[in-house]
Chain A
Amino acid sequence: MRAERMITPAVLFVVAFLVTALPFERSGGNFAGTASFLTTFLTTVGIYAIFTLALNIQWGYTGVFNFGVAAFFLVGAYTAAIVTKDPASGEFVQYVGGFGEFLSPNFLDAGEWLPFIVGIGAAGLASGLLALLLSVPTLRLREDYLAISTIGIAELLRRAVIENPTVVGGTNAMVGIPGPLDGYFAPGDWKYAFLVMVFVFLGLLLFAVERGIRSPWGRVLRALREDETVTAASGKNVFAFKMQGFVFGAVIMGMGGAVFGFGRGSVSPDTFDHFFATFLFWAMLIVGGSGNNWGAIVGAFVVWGVWTISLQLNGYDLPGILQVRIFFIRDLLIGSTIVLFLLLRPQGLVPEQRRVSSWLDRRVRTPPDARPPPEADATGGE
């Protein structure tokens, strides 16, 4: 029991240590370089955690098997880019079939914070609308068919972007997306400010999602995941709730796409491949603990940590047989981590809370005579 409780802190420590120590050692003890490296690393973790959090609503709670996260990521990233980009810049005027200029209103001066808030909102809206449209034909499908159709939709959108250069620039990528408040910082320092912004935003989302989901609303979603028939027999409109969970998750995915674009400064279709834009988030959710919002964040940290560390290893004198194969070994590593977790620790690093309702959690915890035996309590997080 005791040993098991140490697994999560131990994993977190090892990943944090390696992610810090390897670049420090390789840069010959350069503090500034290591700090800069860690900033980039944590920013990515923060952005990916947004997607994992969203996927947790869809899969961890509602039981909707979305294997096309990339579709919502893509829609969010391009929407925010179009809204925030400076209208006059380059070939942008021809985008969106010539409407690009119109869609990026002049009153949104990219030097201020407003266009980014509007951009994030628009991204959430567009992605949510896509989910709403898709939910009608797909949500009534069985879980496995739903997964297949979401894969199809993600690929369809990506191909549409590639094949139509006048929509959002095709394979040329859409460049010149401004970073929030980047006018206020020296070019090299902005990324630290952006890291703070990402984590503030993630914190807000986590708060909203926790509060929204650990409630009677979330209870209906978890019931759906467990058994749709009983949920219907308990008087709940199965389709309506399933749609709400799916759309809510998609809105957050769209917002994640917006933040991703702001950080990158450019968006191109090759970002949205199945591995990076869908599969990786599933890996993060499974490792972190499906059904727990905190787990989604822990999972993003650990999986992206493993990914980063494995590339760092490349700088060392590895045996030739590994050296040339390191890129394939990384894929293998992520794949085997998932398998390992599914076999040995299906509940993930931070298992889901036993009770959905946070009110009930507090209520049951308070009177000591009502406490369940401690080892039966699989509550995580906090």
Chain B
Amino acid sequence: MKSDQRPDILTIEDVSKAFGGLQAVNRADLAVAEGSITGLIGPNGAGKTTLFNLISGFLKPDHGHITFKGERIDGLPPHKVFHRGLVRTFQIPRELGGMTVVENLMLVPVNQAGEYLWNSWFLPWRVNEQEETNFTKAEEVLSFLNLLHLRDEYALNLSGGQKKLLELGRTLMCNPKMILLDEPAAGVNRTLMRDIVEDIKRLRKELGITFFVIEHDMDIVALLCDRLIVMAEGTKLAEGSPDEVRKDERVLEAYLGGRGR
């Protein structure tokens, strides 16, 4: 089930990022095919999360180009990257603790008339109509994530795994072209995670959303991804189908080397 013939939706060319003396991403060159579910694996500290931060606009690359749907996006601020249809989750969940779960999600939809002070003063009916739509959408997403009973709870009071699910929920509130998931399975119940894997596949099939997923759990990776990219020491080490990658000696070495330190 290779998707080689499909065009690349995201390309990373010669991208580098250093923190002080530490070269977190080092001349990375990689691409993600449109409509694929591509996994990004690699030892701790390989630079995976940093790469996501570069793609989503939270960091600017020191060097290199990032292209999404044929347009340069490096250097754009995060909200502009979001508006291009590229959304992300965080490895360590970042919920809006002082807001209810459902409002964490209702925040996300774009083009909310009520986000203009003027409209909330003078066009409340239009604002309320959209609130109804967004609330219904948020309830759907919450029931999909088994969080519906917590919709009116402060997000602060969710468990670690539930917060992780809320992260995922945020990306489902808009109609993205591509979703970056940073370790979506960490801390999430396995049975539920298997359901989510199925749903991710369904989203890809039905809506054509491309997924780029960092994940350490190789079972989930094997279930989910049709292509894998392996990163080590800030750069791409190998690429291929899950089976190919599993047999690759360099990959084994990188993991063992990483573990040995």
User: Chain A: residues with CB nearer than 8 A to chain B?
Assistant: 208, 211-212, 215-220, 222-223, 225-227, 229-238, 244, 248, 352, 354-357, 359-360, 363-364, 370, 372, 376
**B81-123 near A? 1/0 per residue, CB < 8 Å:** 0110001101000111111101100111010111111001100
Contact residues in A for B82 (Cβ distance below 8 Å): 232-235
Contact residues in A for B120 (Cβ distance below 8 Å): 211-212, 215-218
Contact residue among A208, A217, A352, A372 (Cβ-Cβ distance under 8 Å from B116)? A217
Contact residue among A225, A232, A363 (Cβ-Cβ distance under 8 Å from B77)? A232
Q: Are B100 and A355 in contact (CB under 8 A)?
A: yes
Distance in angstroms between the alpha carbons of A355 and B132 in the assembled complex: 15
Chain B nearest Cβ from A192, distance in angstroms: 31
List the A residue with the shortest CB-CB distance to B127. Answer: A215
Contact residues in A for B88 (Cβ distance below 8 Å): 233
Chain A nearest Cβ from B92, distance in angstroms: 11
What 20 new A-B contacts, CB under 8 Å, besides A223-B107, A225-B98?
A: A211-B124, A212-B120, A215-B114, A216-B106, A216-B115, A216-B127, A216-B130, A218-B120, A220-B115, A223-B96, A226-B96, A229-B90, A230-B90, A232-B79, A233-B58, A233-B87, A235-B108, A238-B79, A355-B103, A357-B114
B198, CB-defined interface residue at 8 Å: no
With A216-B114, A226-B98, A229-B94: A357-B107 Cβ-Cβ less than 8 Å: no
Distance in angstroms between the alpha carbons of A244 and B118 in the assembled complex: 12
List the B residue with the shortest CB-CB distance to A377. Answer: B152
Distance in angstroms between the alpha carbons of A225 and B98 in the assembled complex: 9
Chain B nearest Cβ from A205, distance in angstroms: 13
Q: Are A248 and B117 in contact (CB under 8 A)?
A: yes
Contact residue among A223, A234, A244 (Cβ-Cβ distance under 8 Å from B117)? A244
Distance in angstroms between the alpha carbons of A55 and B56 in the assembled complex: 33
Distance in angstroms between the alpha carbons of A236 and B102 in the assembled complex: 17
Chain B nearest Cβ from A235, distance in angstroms: 4
Distance in angstroms between the alpha carbons of A360 and B136 in the assembled complex: 11
Q: Are B153 and A372 in contact (CB under 8 A)?
A: yes
Contact residues in A for B99 (Cβ distance below 8 Å): 219, 222-223, 226, 356
Q: Are B94 and A219 in contact (CB under 8 A)?
A: no
Chain A nearest Cβ from B134, distance in angstroms: 8
For the complex of A and B, 10 pairs with smallest distance between CB atoms: A216-B114, A215-B120, A235-B82, A232-B78, A226-B96, A359-B131, A216-B112, A215-B114, A372-B152, A230-B94
- Listed by A's residue number, 29 A-B pairs whose Cβ atoms lie within 8 Å are A211-B120, A212-B120, A217-B116, A218-B120, A219-B99, A219-B106, A220-B107, A222-B99, A223-B96, A229-B58, A229-B90, A230-B90, A230-B170, A233-B88, A233-B90, A234-B108, A234-B170, A235-B87, A235-B174, A237-B79, A238-B79, A354-B154, A356-B103, A357-B103, A359-B127, A360-B103, A360-B131, A372-B152, A372-B153
Contact residues in B for A230 (Cβ distance below 8 Å): 90, 94-96, 170
Contact residues in A for B116 (Cβ distance below 8 Å): 217
Contact residues in B for A359 (Cβ distance below 8 Å): 127-128, 131-132
Q: Chain A binding site: helix, strand, loop or mixed by DSSP?
A: helix
Contact residue among B56, B58, B131, B154 (Cβ-Cβ distance under 8 Å from A216)? B131
Contact residue among B103, B115, B153, B154 (Cβ-Cβ distance under 8 Å from A217)? B115
Distance in angstroms between the alpha carbons of A232 and B110 in the assembled complex: 12
Distance in angstroms between the alpha carbons of A363 and B131 in the assembled complex: 10
Distance in angstroms between the alpha carbons of A281 and B88 in the assembled complex: 40
Distance in angstroms between the alpha carbons of A233 and B90 in the assembled complex: 9
B77, B79, B87, B112 — most chain A CB neighbours (10 Å): B79
With A235-B110, A238-B79: A364-B152 Cβ-Cβ less than 8 Å: yes
Distance in angstroms between the alpha carbons of A235 and B58 in the assembled complex: 12
Chain B nearest Cβ from A105, distance in angstroms: 29
List the A residue with the shortest CB-CB distance to B96. Answer: A226
A223, A227, A230 — most chain B CB neighbours (10 Å): A230
List the B residue with the shortest CB-CB distance to A244. Answer: B117
Distance in angstroms between the alpha carbons of A244 and B116 in the assembled complex: 10
Distance in angstroms between the alpha carbons of A216 and B131 in the assembled complex: 8
Distance in angstroms between the alpha carbons of A234 and B176 in the assembled complex: 12
Contact residues in B for A248 (Cβ distance below 8 Å): 117
List the B residue with the shortest CB-CB distance to A241. Answer: B115
Distance in angstroms between the alpha carbons of A238 and B58 in the assembled complex: 12
Q: Are B121 and A227 in contact (CB under 8 A)?
A: no
Q: Are B153 and A227 in contact (CB under 8 A)?
A: no
Contact residue among B83, B94, B127, B131 (Cβ-Cβ distance under 8 Å from A235)? B83
Contact residue among B90, B97, B121, B153 (Cβ-Cβ distance under 8 Å from A211)? B121
Contact residues in B for A215 (Cβ distance below 8 Å): 114, 120, 127
Q: Are B154 and A219 in contact (CB under 8 A)?
A: no
Chain A nearest Cβ from B161, distance in angstroms: 18
Distance in angstroms between the alpha carbons of A227 and B103 in the assembled complex: 14
B107, B112, B154 — most chain A CB neighbours (10 Å): B107
Contact residues in A for B127 (Cβ distance below 8 Å): 215-216, 359
